[in-house]
């Protein structure tokens, strides 16, 4: 069976994939993960995997936090 072309929230992403989606460097993502501030990731051996849904949820939280910290006119 061919893989689905439509992204799923359950898709597993490598840190390089998350870097491309978030436009943050791999090093920054590793640092954020170390600080417990990045998207939720799961270690399997030497690799860290991220679920697409967790990454998108983290991005939405970052956007909400930025919106609430802006002063209103």
pLDDT at 10: 85
24, burial (CB in 10 Å: exposed 0-12, middle 13-18, buried 19+): middle
- Asked if residue 14 lies in contact with residue 47, where contact means CB atoms within 8 angstroms, the answer is yes
Helix (H, G, I), strand (E, B) or coil at 65: helix
pTM: 0.78
Helix (H) or strand (E) holding 62: helix 52-69
Count the Cβ atoms, other than its own, within 10 Å of residue 30. Answer: 15
Output 30 or 68, whichever has higher pLDDT. Answer: 30
pLDDT of 6-40, one tens digit each?
778 789 999 999 999 999 999 999 999 999 999 99
């Amino acid at each position: 069976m061919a893989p689905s072309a439509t992204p799923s929230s359950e898709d597993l992403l490598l840190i390089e994939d998350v870097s491309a989606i978030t436009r943050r460097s791999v090093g920054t993502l590793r640092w954020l993960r170390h600080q417990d501030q990045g998207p939720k990731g799961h270690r399997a051996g030497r690799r860290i995997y991220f679920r697409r849904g967790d990454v998108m949820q983290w991005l939405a939280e970052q956007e909400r936090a930025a919106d609430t910290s802006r002063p209103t006119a």
